[in-house]
Amino acid sequence: MIHLQKFLERVRGGEARGGKDFIMPMSEAKGMHADLTELLLELRQLKEAKLAQKEEIVEVKIGGGGFK
């Protein structure tokens, strides 16, 4: 996540200086792409794990008793 942190710092710095444009070298963009991909994959795994926990089987038995 280092590239993502660097990106955020550079954006904040540009905003503080009143910059209007932001240019990023391709090497940094590729690193940020890798960080974002890793983050999204981790999020997907967490979501799948949470869904797997919710899939419990609940058995309900309804008895009518002695109807006459």
Tokens of 62: 């309804």
What is the rounded CA–CA span in Å between residue 18 and residue 49?
A: 43
Please write the tens of the pLDDT for every residue from 12-25.
999 999 999 999 99
Q: Is the dihedral of CA 23, 28, 29, 32 positive or negative?
A: negative
Given a cut of 80, is residue 54 above it in pLDDT?
no
Q: How confident is the model at residue 55 (pLDDT cuts 50, 70, 90)?
A: low
Please tell me whether the overall predicted TM-score, pTM, comes out greater than 0.75 for this model.
no
49: tokens are 């794990």
Distance CA 42, CA 59 (A): 33
